Structure formats: C-alpha cells, structure tokens
Amino acid sequence: MLRTYSSKEHLEQLNVAVKIENLTVEYNGRATLFNINLDIPSGVLMAVLGPNNSGKTTLLKTIAGIDKPSAGNVYIYSRPTHALKNDIAYVPERNFVNWDFPINVYDLVLMGSYNRLKRVEAPDTKDKVSAREALERMGLDTISKKSICDLSRGEKHRALIARALVQDARIYIMDEPMIAADEESINIIIDVLQELRHKKKTVIVSHYDFVTIPRYFDMVSLLNVRLIASGTTEDVLTEENFEKTYGMSAGMIKNIRLYMEESHAGNK
Amino acid sequence: MLEISNSFLFQTMLKSAVLLGLSAGMLGVFISYQRRSIEINALSAGSFVGILILFLLSSLGLYISPYIFSQVDKHIYSFTGSILGILIMITILNILYKTNRLHPHIIQSLMTAVLLGVGITLITSIKQAGGALDSGIDIYLFGETTSLTDEEFHFLRIITLTVILLLLLFFKRLRVVVFNIDIAKTTHFHTMFYVHLINVFVVCLVALSVKLMGVFLAVSVFLIPAVTARLWSNRLFNIMLLSGFFGGLGGGIGAVIAGNISHVSSGISITIVLAVMFFISLLVAPKGLLGVWIRGRK
Amino acid sequence: MFSIEFEIVIVIILSAITCSIPGAFLVMRRNYYAADTTNRSAMLGIAVALIFSSYLSSPLVIILGSITSGLAMILIKKIKEFTSFRAKGLSIIISSAFLCFGILIAANLSFNNTTNFDLSIIYLGETAFTYFNRLRVFGVDIGSYALYAVSFVLVINIILVTVFYNEFKIDGVDKNYAASIEMKESTIDYLLLIMTSLSVSVSFQTAGIFMTSAFILGPAATALFYTKRLSTLAFVSVFISSVACLAGFGIAWPNEVSISGTIVSFLGVLFIVSVIFSPEEGLVKKYFDNLTAQKRLEEYIIMDILNSEIIDCREKHINEEISSSLKWKLMKVSYIMNKLKAENKIEIVQNKVQLTEEGKTILNKFLSAQHCFY
C-alpha cells in the first residue's frame, strides 16, 4: 500500500536531515549548480527531477561528500559532510559502474559491510546474515553466485541497492535507480523505498519519470542548475514549474519521452 | 637443452625475474581495472629518459650530490633517475588528461613514442660527447636480468615482497577503490590513501620492470598475466593469485630461456612465454574458445 | 643524382606525409590502438622477409610487414568478439607477442651472411642508410630505392583518400547517419588498415618501428588544436609533419645525432607547445578564460544571495555573514563587495545592502542564461 505525506504541515514537523546552504558547484568557470538552498526533512522520500545536464548527479554527489562544493555548505544532521561518512549510503548510476569487474553478486552486496570493518578485518557472521537478508529483500538470492556482468539491467540496479541496504545508513542517496529497468525490478525497488521510509530513513533519489513521482514520493525538487521549486509533490508539480524547468509543457515532454523510449527500444 | 645452472649470476637472475613477475602480475590486475594498463608504456618511456638524463648529467660531472651517492654505486643513481622520470611522467600525463579533449590513449601512445625519440637523441648525443654508455642500447630497449648487481637484487627483493604483502593485506579495501571510486569515497576509510598506494607500487615496479624487461616490454609483465588470469576465473581474489602465479611462472621460464640461449634478451623471452601462456589459455580456459564452443553446443 | 642531404630529406618528408594521412583519419575516427599495433606487429613480417632478402628496403619487407600488421588487427577483432576484453589491452598483448617473435627470428635466423648487422636499425631507424640502397635501371642510377617505395605508397594513400573521401567524411562526422544509409563500417576499417600498415612498413626504416606511431598520431593530434574539419585536418597535419621533419633534420644532421629521434622529439615539442599556447584551446587561454568566468560567477553568487534575501542584509556584519554562509575567506568576500560597490551594482538603503536596478537587470540576464534545456 503506497502512502505519501500529503500535507505541508507534516513535513514541517520533521527535523532536518540534510541542509544545503547557498551551494554552488562550478567547473571551468561554468556553474553546474548555482546558489541552491534546500532543506530535506528527516524520513522522507525525495525525488530530484530535471533535464539532462541540470546538475542532478552533481547535487547527489555533493550531498554524499564525493564532490567538493565551490561555495556554500552542506550539513547532514547539522554536521558538515566530511565528518560523518558512515551515515550515507550512495548508489551510483548504473553507467558509472564498471560491470566487467570480476565479482559476484554476493561479494558486491557484502562490500556494504566494509564500512564497519577495521583495516584488515574480515566480515563476520552478522555481516553475512545482513547481506543474505538484503539479497533476499531485493529478490536476488537465487542468482547470488552469478557474476555481475551477466545480470540484466534491472538486476544490476537491485544489486547496487542491496549493497547500500547492507550499509545500514541514515541517509540513502540513489542516482537514477530505476532508469531502463524492467517492471518487476521497479516494483521491488519502490517497495524497498517505502520500507526505508517506514524505518525513518531519508531517501534522496534522482528520477527521470515525472509521471510516477506523485505515486511514489513525498517530496520533489525541480532542478535546472538553479533550484526551481521544492516541496510536496502537489505543490511543486505544476505546469508553471515545468515550464521553468524544462522550457516546455509537461505534455510535450511526455510525447518526447515516448518517442525516445520507442527509438531506444528500436535500437536494442 | 635448457638447464638451471647453479651459478650465482643465474640464480640472481632467476629469482629476480620470478619475484618481479609475481608482484607485477598481482598489481597488474588492479591497474587493468583502473583502466590504466596502457599508461605503463608511457611511464616506462619516461623512466628511460630519466635514466639517460641523469646519466648525461653525471657524465658532464654534474652529480647532484656526490656525497649521497659516493657509498652506493651508480646503479642506485640510475634507479633514482628512473623513478624521477616516472614521477614527472605521471604528472605530465595527468595534466594532459585534464586539459585536453584528446582521448587518453592517444596521449599515451604519442608520449611513449616522443619520449623514446628524446631518449634516442640523448643516447646519440652522449656518444657524440664522448661519454660511453656502460652497455649497448639493447639493454635499455629489451632489458637484461644479468645486469642486476647484488645491492639492486636486495632492493628488488624488499620492494616486491612488500608489494605482495600489502596487496594481500589491503585486498578488501583496494577492491572497493578499484571497483568504484564514488562508493569508496562515501565510506569511512581514506580513499586517496589507497589510490596513492597503488601509484607508489606502480612507480617502484615500473622502474624495476624497465630494468629487467626493457622500455617496450615493461608493460607486458603487468598486463598479460592479468588478462590471462581473467580467462580462468570470475572472482578478483582468485584472479589476483592466478595472475601472480602466471607472472612468476612466465618470469622464471623466460629467465631460464634467456640464460641458455644467446641473442635473446630476458624481456623478449619472458614476454614470449607470457604470450604463449595467454594463447594457450585463450584456447582451453573456461572463458576461452573451448568454453564458448562447449557452451554453444549445450 | 641529387646531393645526399637533399635525397634523405625528401625521403623523410615523404614518409612523414605518408604516415600522417592515415593518422588524421585514425585520430578523427577515435581508433586509438591501430597505430601502436600496426607498428609493433610489422616487426614479425619484416623479420621473416629478412630471412629471404638481406636488404631492408625490398618489396618483400613491405608486403610481409603489412600482412602481419593487418593480421594482428584482425586477430584483435576476432578475440574481442568472444571475450569481454577491451581492444586496447588485447592490442598490447598481440602486438608485443608479434614483436617478440619477430625479434627472436631476426636475431637468430635472419642475416645468415651478414653477421654484424645491428638490429637497432629496425627498432629505431637510420635514415642515412636508405641512401646507400640504390635503384638502377639499365645500369643508370636513378635514385635511392626508398624514395620510390615511399612515393609509391604515398600515391596509393592519396588515391584511396580521394576515391573514398565521401565515405571517410560521412563516417568521421556521423556514425548514425553512416549506418542509416547502410554504409558498411568495416570497409572503412579495412581501407584504413591497408593504408596504415602500408605506410608503417614502408617508413619504418626512417623512423624505426617504435617511433612511427609518433609520425602517425603526432601531426594529427597537434592539428586537432587548430582545426576541426576533416579536409583541413589532413592538410594541416601534412604541413606540421613536414615542418617537424625539416627542423629535426636541420638540427640532427650537423650534430650527428639520431635523425629520427630528433624529428620525433620535435613533433613532441610541437604537440606540447600546441597544448599550452594554441589560440583556441590552449592551456593559457583556457586558464585566463576560466579565471575571468570564475570571478564573474563569484560576483553573481553574491548578488544572488543579496537579491534573494536569505541572509540578514544589514550593513554591519554583511561580509562576515556572507563569508560564513559561502565558506569563503573574508578577504575574498570584502574584495568582491567593494568591487560590486564600485561598479554600482549594489547600494546601501537604510543600513541594508541591496541590489541597484542595474544590478538586478544584470543578474536576471545571467540567471535566465543558466538554464540548460535539451
């Protein structure tokens, strides 16, 4: 059963998990993110939406502490990012992972527990149990011995998310976890996202498909180098905001998306 | 035909080839998954130029500090030149990658050839200036294991064993770092430490490999065992061990061949043995031709 | 017929031009490994040819050399099809295997009669030697053999490029378009392969099998800093390689150092100089561009903060306030604030810092340019 926080008041009651203050990231004198101010309440599912090159990945990476900001601050539970790395589980975009890497699914998922280990310590039974649980949760237990290069697209997404689940962090940051995945994988991933919210975790997801956002997410941020709007899905997903973010109306984008998906399927 | 003689020279050569093959094979796995294996070519060319420039300086009477090098002989001096050359080369390559829209591979191939040209010009100008190189040009191009002195062998033993030990100890974290640097950066351990650790290993082993295998073939002892091992296994730890095994075996057999047949430098014989191992694996290994054929029949 | 210097210079320039023509297309097509692979694997063919003939510049050397280098490229493609390896790694393995077998054969089997032959001529090239192998017709000396061999391959290259120019152009510009009009990519691949391997095996005696890759890649990579059009790219790379040859020869010949080494070093110098000082993409220009762009961006950041009134805008602690919220040094902030004040972009009204009308229009103009639509 999907349930979203609909009211603004509810969001305001929650305390802040991620506080972004005047964040600017520049590359070669060009701003990838410009003056972003954003508060992400604790325990919400937030989607980041925007066109290509709008800085979605950069925003997520900056929150995760991977990229350094040129100006501004990012606080996580009112502490700067570099102070608490164990609180963030990061799921990279599928294309940025080297899938030729010789490792099987179980070992990949077990990598999540390395965070708790000392320099030359092997994972113990507890870690192995939690890895098994994560595999089962993501529906990967039957193929846990498979090499990661043989997985389908959806299974690759699920394996990466399972690794993050083992990490057991307070904040989950996922870069396009559902793009080009099959129906079954999307359902499992959505279920897991809901479950994470029930456990009071904060989840930040960059997502491409704005049609499904109101069903799955509590909050949404529209991003196009600057932050266009942020808040509950009802407030933010308006025609006017779309115009600002994409430079065209939602209907047109829908058509383009359909066309692109068709041509994509044709190319396969 | 081939025999393992008991002479000290031959034993040193054999041991050093095996140790280098073992450690370089293990390290090569990590390098090849960082997609940097081609960089080794450019680095070895850089070390070649470094050796020659320091040699030129010393033949001109410009010792950097004669007191430092008075105790140890000039081999250590050339080793210093080699390491300096590699470090400068790494810096130049990194600057070029960042500021250039050419593909890294083009830059690497070009810089390799250019540095070789610089090196050849330096060699001929050293000859013109009247300074004699202590050996023929073949030693720099294709390596000679017998050229190792006692101190150098001691040095090589320490470096290679340290590399092997540290790779085994830090295997878990190195695996995360090599798999995906973004994931590694969100964990609590110090990512850049491990990245630089691999870099330090690369610098030391390339300098040794240039000495033993020569400028052109220095890359083969890193790359070929790693690729060969990939044909046999699907897990990184097994691949690392297998690659070390292949490297050590190839180094050993190659050194024996080089010691028994004249006209053959050790770099050439080691590379040939490694390449033969690769082609055999390509035929019979589970992921090679035979495996594909059997899977196709099923 | 000619003086020795003139003939050698002609041979060098012709072989450099021969190499730079396929090089321009290789760089344009992003075919990275072909140059290295063809060079090194030509060694096997050369060594086999030298069993039968004792001259470096005989037709057999060219034919066998190009056959083995082509064979290496095809082998790489075939292996790549059924394994998951990348082509560049495979190319290193295959080419070093070919190279080593070649050297093994050359060192042990070739030159049965001439024992004192130095193999390093093959590796490193010795241009002056090409002069001594003369071609005679009816007893009349008509020039060195290498001159004719190189010009023959050059003519072949030029003919191939002019005949298939449209295909090259379409293929270099737009792969999808090339696929849509059902042009076979492999034909271009094989054409380039033929051109590269012929050029390599004919010009190895000038530059040696290792440095030929600089002859192939160097001019084209340098030319990319000055032009992006395919036709001009070929001409500029030809020009660059001739300049490098002349300068290299001019330095090397009187000083009696290696000619090929000097030329290749000169190509490297040209490349590095272009990387740093090229008028459009040079490091220096990029650095200053970035610096000004960065400075301007910093101004806009502060203006945007003042405009959106997120922070307390009273005059008293404004610099400290901004510096803490941006994590910038106080010096930097006060410098930019003073500059903005001097440029009349901000003003102080009732102890509050705010943008002037002029500053607001400038800021809005900047902000509307920041969007990135697809």
- Closest to C301 (Cα-Cα) out of C266, C328, C275, C281: C328
Give the closest-approach CA distance of B22 to chain C in angstroms: 18
CB contact under 8 A, B33 and A101: yes
What was the pLDDT predicted at C182? 60
Q: Which residue has the higher pLDDT, A267 or B183?
A: B183
Tokens at A226, concatenated = 């600057």
- The answer to whether residue A214 sits within a structural domain is yes
- Looking at chain B, list the stretches that DSSP marks H as alpha helix, in order from N- to C-terminal side: 8-33, 39-59, 66-69, 74-98, 104-128, 137-142, 150-169, 171-179, 181-185, 191-213, 220-230, 236-260, 266-284, 289-297
Q: Which residue has the higher pLDDT, C43 or B264?
A: C43
pLDDT (tens, 9 = 90+) of chain B, 298 residues, equals 566 667 777 888 888 889 999 999 999 999 988 888 888 889 999 998 988 888 777 766 655 554 554 545 566 677 788 889 999 999 999 888 888 778 888 888 889 889 988 988 888 887 776 655 555 566 677 777 666 777 778 888 999 999 999 999 988 889 889 998 888 888 877 888 999 999 999 999 998 888 888 888 888 999 999 999 988 988 899 999 999 999 999 999 998 888 887 667 888 889 999 999 999 998 888 887 888 888 887 7
Question: How does residue A2 score in pLDDT terms, banded at 50, 70 and 90?
Answer: very low
| Pairing verdict, β A202-206 and A171-175 | parallel
Q: Which residue has the higher pLDDT, B284 or C87?
A: B284
- The answer to whether residue A1 sits within a structural domain is no
Give the closest-approach CA distance of A198 to chain C in angstroms: 33
- Residue B182 contacts A where some CB pair is shorter than 8 Å: yes
List the 52-111 stretch of C: residues with Cβ below 8 A of B. Answer: 79, 82-86, 88-90, 92-93, 96-97, 99-101, 103-104, 107-108
Instruction: Give all chains having 3 or more CB-to-CB distances under 8 Å with chain C.
Output: A, B
Does one domain contain both A64 and A192? yes
A26: part of which helix (H) or strand (E)? strand A16-27
For chain C, which residues make up each domain, given as ranges? 4-279, 284-369
| Pairing verdict, β A219-224 and A45-49 | parallel
CB contact under 8 A, A51 and C297: no
CA distance C299 to C311: 16
Does one domain contain both A57 and A169? yes
Closest-CA residue of C relative to A32 is C370
Closest-CA residue of A relative to B167 is A120
Compute the residue count for chain A. 268
CB contact under 8 A, A224 and C293: no
Highest mean pLDDT among A109-123, B280-294, C348-362: B280-294
- The answer to whether residue A147 sits within a structural domain is yes
- Closest to C61 (Cα-Cα) out of C261, C209, C161: C209
Mean pLDDT over the full length of chain A: 82
CB contact under 8 A, A29 and C298: no
Does one domain contain both A190 and A224? yes
In sequence order, the 6+-apart residues with CB closer than 8 A to the CB of C231 are C169
Give the closest-approach CA distance of C100 to chain B in angstroms: 5
- Closest to B38 (Cα-Cα) out of A91, C90, C130, A244: C90
CB contact under 8 A, A52 and C289: no
CA distance C222 to B238: 43
In sequence order, the 6+-apart residues with CB closer than 8 A to the CB of C281 are B101, C225
What was the pLDDT predicted at A37? 87
CA distance B180 to B194: 13
| Pairing verdict, β A71-76 and A16-27 | antiparallel
- E strands, C288-369, are 346-349, 352-355
pLDDT at C313 over 80: no
Give the closest-approach CA distance of B119 to chain C in angstroms: 8
- The answer to whether residue A125 sits within a structural domain is yes
In sequence order, the 6+-apart residues with CB closer than 8 A to the CB of B258 are B13, B145, B264, B265, B266, B268, B269, B270
Does one domain contain both A185 and A262? no
Does one domain contain both A154 and A244? no
Helices (H) and strands (E) in chain A, counts: 10, 10
| B288 and C120 Cβ atoms separated by less than 8 Å | no
Total structural domains within chain A: 2
> Could you report the per-residue pLDDT of C123-145, keeping only the tens digit for each?
777 777 777 777 777 777 777 78
Does one domain contain both A75 and A192? yes
CB contact under 8 A, A31 and C325: no
| A156 and A99 Cβ atoms separated by less than 8 Å | yes
pLDDT at C252 over 90: no
Secondary structure class of A93 (helix, strand, coil):
coil
Domain hosting residue A65, numbered range: 8-237
Helix axes B220-230, B236-260, angle to 10 degrees: 130
All residues of chain C having their beta carbon less than 8 Å from the beta carbon of residue A255 are none
- Residue C9 contacts B where some CB pair is shorter than 8 Å: no
- Of the candidates B173, B186, B239, which has its C-beta nearest A90's C-beta? B186
- The answer to whether residue A92 sits within a structural domain is yes
Query: C284-369: which CATH architecture?
Result: Orthogonal Bundle (1.10)
Q: Considering only A184-193, B234-243, C104-113, which range has the smallest mean pLDDT?
A: C104-113
| C333 and C302 Cβ atoms separated by less than 8 Å | yes
CA distance C358 to C219: 50
Domains in chain B and their CATH numbers? 8-297 (1.10.3470.10)
Does one domain contain both A216 and A189? yes
Q: What are phi and psi of B286, to 5 degrees?
A: -60, -30
Question: Which CATH number does the domain housing residue A170 bear?
Answer: 3.40.50.300
What was the pLDDT predicted at B73? 59
Does one domain contain both A231 and A248? no
> Could you report the per-residue pLDDT of A5-64, keeping only the tens digit for each?
545 666 666 688 888 888 888 887 788 888 888 888 888 888 898 887 788 889 999 988
CB contact under 8 A, B236 and A103: yes
- Residue B172 contacts A where some CB pair is shorter than 8 Å: yes
> Could you report the per-residue pLDDT of A189-209, keeping only the tens digit for each?
888 988 888 888 889 998 877
CB contact under 8 A, B235 and A102: yes
Instruction: Give all chains having 3 or more CB-to-CB distances under 8 Å with chain B.
Output: A, C
Tell me the one-letter amino acid at C351. Answer: N
For residue A41, the cross-strand partners are: A16
> What number is the ipTM of this complex?
0.88
Query: C4-279: which CATH architecture?
Result: Orthogonal Bundle (1.10)
Give the closest-approach CA distance of B36 to chain C in angstroms: 10
CA distance C32 to B133: 35
C362: part of which helix (H) or strand (E)? helix C357-369
Q: Considering only B41-50, C20-29, C194-203, C308-317, which range has the smallest mean pLDDT?
A: C308-317
